[in-house]
Structure 1
């Protein structure tokens, strides 16, 4: 989105001075970025946009100092320092001289623009999505509390969207814009008690504020967040779920619901280690948050001149406010049958966008033991009591998610008939459909998969597999059978067709 043109001679001089030292300039609504070798200088525009005031040198310095402070924890190698542009005795501009301070610029390390995820969202594989979800959960857990955020911040953006989209309704479809505005207001009022309760429980924090794919890059195989909002607290002091919702909406809009639901499931498992149990019931507000984020993109796209894209975002925002009803799925089978891969493959096709939350007993077990999600646990911890506690926890979590309107996939062995009965009873209790899947494969296939497994939450060994088969092999299971030697995407598609018929 292009910003306003140069408005004064001093700003024009600064831009010309920096352009003479740069290879290329990137224009945004709030700033210009000058690229030179391995350096990028960011100069704030001399404007007051209403939501961002950079009209004085003091305001620009304040914003740049905050930008450095807010971004360095996540990207310390990128955000370097705030530089002063001074005027020498002969009138020339220079960096950090002894003369009068004319303006300020943020010095950053230049990075590969092709590494930004918005450039190639198809490159986000399962491991990257997993890493993103867990990294963002850790970022939110460390973020300072902001008791004035939460509902009030979301309400501000809802009002801003309504005003900006109303101004554009002649260029868009007026009746669709009006429908979106009315439906959003109703849902915001309905979710207010939940959002205020989440604020009081500690879910309102100083967040990124602009957490979509264009503000995430990959370096050395890991995701890096950058360019968080620093200039207006009402846009960054948010419910952490609303912060995450921008990324989820962006992925879902780009037909990457598979990545979005992997991010969401990983985020929730990691966040459950440090946030209170109200984490799960907060998913009731996710459709609203996704819709509001789509509404933001709708007016941004319209102001950039892309009306077709803007209309698509309006329709997406409307759709999010009418989410599909929840369903409980359970995927069982012996170790090595590929339950987790199958669960993740079917999750995007179940329930409200971006799909069902996957709850893995392997991950819950690590969380209850206070271990990292891929740490190995001692065999001594695997007592019958601990085994029962793990299933008790995933059932309780699934209940909270289902009551919040979120579909769930339970990923567990489910070798005990009582546990399979318990999953079906939970669906009946919550008034949602139940869909089971029992994965099967030849013993040699299971052995090969278990022996080759690395970097996964499962602690299953060949001894564990053989014990499962000795105790439960050959016993009847009523759930629909899935051939686990079939390619996962093929098997998942076929099961979904039957499950959602």
Structure 2
């Protein structure tokens, strides 16, 4: 009989790997883990590695990491089940949870459909799913433990790490391009340092996911599920929540899905505004930096995976994020059923800095102020002149903060009152940004059909509300350029964007 391998050594790692592979499929390997897939279960082992950013060279460190991985990921999903010791059997082999010496530990997880991971099917992230994902991430951040020592510290660490790793790859990626990105990133970090430090102290630095891209999000039972949080290095997980979100936004934009990215961002902000302080909006000034840093991370990861062409595209994207388009204020008005939300969401990805303009909807803001879910139905008692005024005041306040942070905004409201239209025009002048007002117009029968068929939306407007608006149409006298939306709203939005140039 062969001599058992000593716990923690290379021989033990090889023995455990072979033992598990014989009971499952060949492992999926990453730099720090091996995942073994069974029919309805998966087992994860930590590799015996000592890298610059992770230390798994001892059994104690591997157990520490697995315990954290189990704990961190149980906050977001039910995929992670338990830790199981792999022990030495009396006959000299290995077994699960036996009385003998522990050789290693495995993290047991339930299997999921690999085809449900969004990296495999980014087209599955339609509007409603993007909305749900943004709100899911905001809810996760709301309950995440505070880590005031993180935030700025973690971002500065990654910027330094990116600079070192990209410079090592400069002969392949292009020395001038790499140096341009490094210089721009360091300058922007210095410019945003005070804001980032303030956000850390104000509660925005938390124990985050750390690796929030489409490869770590799947769709199950019609809802987004986030998994595979970073557990092995606090400098990669104790982050500003916006930097955590930035990985997802950058990934979507890089894949050509600005439409989904801006829907995620708008939903995230509306949900986060329910629990985070008002500095939430000011923090958007640092979003270009955060997007750029995330692109830098993917650049060296891609290069180390021998995909130099993609790595270079990431470096170019990182540079582009640090040259954001100036902010613009767009206001979309019209009667109920005219398709304001559809129009606003269609044009938002094409306006302003990446990934596009934030959409502010009075229908959502009203629910936020009352502390009820966005799709919670409200009675007409909540639509008093006073509550309407509070809703528009909040919308204008949020828009002012976003514009001040360099973020383009699309306002989605009826704007039936001329005084409100003048207020948002003045808001643009005060902020020193361009303004574009749009009035959506369609025949009454089209409006009625749309209102009658609406379900699962934040709007509470019914046919009675619409008919009341139609009765007042002669006194509304909308003076913004009209857009005919009697046909498909998306087509009208595309035509408007084409005319806008």
Q: Which residue of 2 aligns with 1:85?
A: 86
Q: Which residue of 1 aligns with 2:369?
A: 368
Q: Distance in 2 between matches of 1:358 and 1:383?
A: 24
Q: Distance in 1 between matches of 2:140 and 2:213?
A: 15
- Where 2:23 maps in the other structure, the secondary structure is coil
Q: Which residue of 2 aligns with 1:186?
A: 187
Do structure 1's residue 353 and structure 2's residue 349 form an aligned pair? no
Q: State TM-score, norm by structure 2.
A: 0.97
- Where 1:371 maps in the other structure, the secondary structure is coil
Structure 1 residue 75: Cα displacement = 1.1
Tell me if structure 2 keeps the 8 A contact 1:24–1:36: no
Q: Distance in 1 between matches of 2:96 and 2:422?
A: 71
Q: Distance in 2 between matches of 1:119 and 1:221?
A: 16
Tell me if structure 1 keeps the 8 A contact 2:418–2:476: no
1:7 and 1:184, CA in 2 relative to 1: closer, same or farther beyond 3 A? Answer: farther
The one of 44, 50, 64 equivalent to 2:66 is 64
Structure 1 residues 463-472 or 228-237, which shifts more? 463-472
Do structure 1's residue 12 and structure 2's residue 20 form an aligned pair? no
Q: Which residue of 2 aligns with 1:45?
A: 47
Q: State TM-score, norm by structure 1.
A: 0.97
Structure 1 residue 474: Cα displacement = 6.5
Do structure 1's residue 275 and structure 2's residue 307 form an aligned pair? no
Q: Distance in 2 between matches of 1:393 and 1:295?
A: 36
Q: Which residue of 1 aligns with 2:174?
A: 173
Q: Which residue of 2 aligns with 1:3?
A: none
Q: Which runs of 4+ in 1 moved over 6 A?
A: none
Q: Which residue of 2 aligns with 1:74?
A: 76
Structure 1 residue 456: Cα displacement = 0.4
| Structure 2 residue ranges without an equivalent (≥5) | 1-7
Q: Distance in 1 between matches of 2:493 and 2:453?
A: 23
Q: Which residue of 1 aligns with 2:157?
A: 156
Q: Which residue of 2 aligns with 1:238?
A: 239
- Where 1:24 maps in the other structure, the secondary structure is coil
- Where 1:252 maps in the other structure, the secondary structure is helix
- Where 1:171 maps in the other structure, the secondary structure is helix
Q: Distance in 2 between matches of 1:399 and 1:276?
A: 16
- Where 2:51 maps in the other structure, the secondary structure is coil
| Structure 1 residue ranges without an equivalent (≥5) | 1-5
Q: Distance in 2 between matches of 1:275 and 1:41?
A: 37
Q: Distance in 2 between matches of 1:421 and 1:379?
A: 26
Q: Which residue of 2 aligns with 1:114?
A: 115
Structure 1 residue 490: Cα displacement = 2.0
Q: Which residue of 2 aligns with 1:23?
A: 25
- Between Structure 1 and Structure 2, how many residues are aligned? 494
Structure 1 residue 8: Cα displacement = 2.1
Structure 1 residue 53: Cα displacement = 0.8
Structure 1 residue 122: Cα displacement = 1.1
Q: Distance in 2 between matches of 1:75 and 1:242?
A: 21
Structure 1 residue 315: Cα displacement = 0.2
Q: Which residue of 2 aligns with 1:338?
A: 339
Tell me if structure 1 keeps the 8 A contact 2:336–2:461: yes
Do structure 1's residue 411 and structure 2's residue 412 form an aligned pair? yes
Q: Distance in 2 between matches of 1:471 and 1:200?
A: 50
Q: Which residue of 1 aligns with 2:100?
A: 99
Q: Distance in 2 between matches of 1:91 and 1:188?
A: 56
Q: Which residue of 1 aligns with 2:458?
A: 457
Tell me if structure 1 keeps the 8 A contact 2:178–2:315: yes
Tell me if structure 2 keeps the 8 A contact 1:436–1:479: yes
Tell me if structure 1 keeps the 8 A contact 2:342–2:490: no
Matches within 5 A, 1:459-478: 459-473=460-474, 475-478=476-479
- Where 2:105 maps in the other structure, the secondary structure is strand
Matches within 5 A, 1:240-389: 240-389=241-390
Q: Distance in 1 between matches of 2:382 and 2:493?
A: 33
- Where 2:378 maps in the other structure, the secondary structure is coil
Structure 1 residue 7: Cα displacement = 8.3
- Where 2:172 maps in the other structure, the secondary structure is coil
Q: Which residue of 1 aligns with 2:3?
A: none
- Where 1:323 maps in the other structure, the secondary structure is coil
Tell me if structure 2 keeps the 8 A contact 1:450–1:462: yes
Superimposed CA distance per residue, residues 51-73 of structure 1 (whole angstroms, 9 cap, x where no aligned partner)? 11110111000100000000012
Structure 1 residue 382: Cα displacement = 1.2
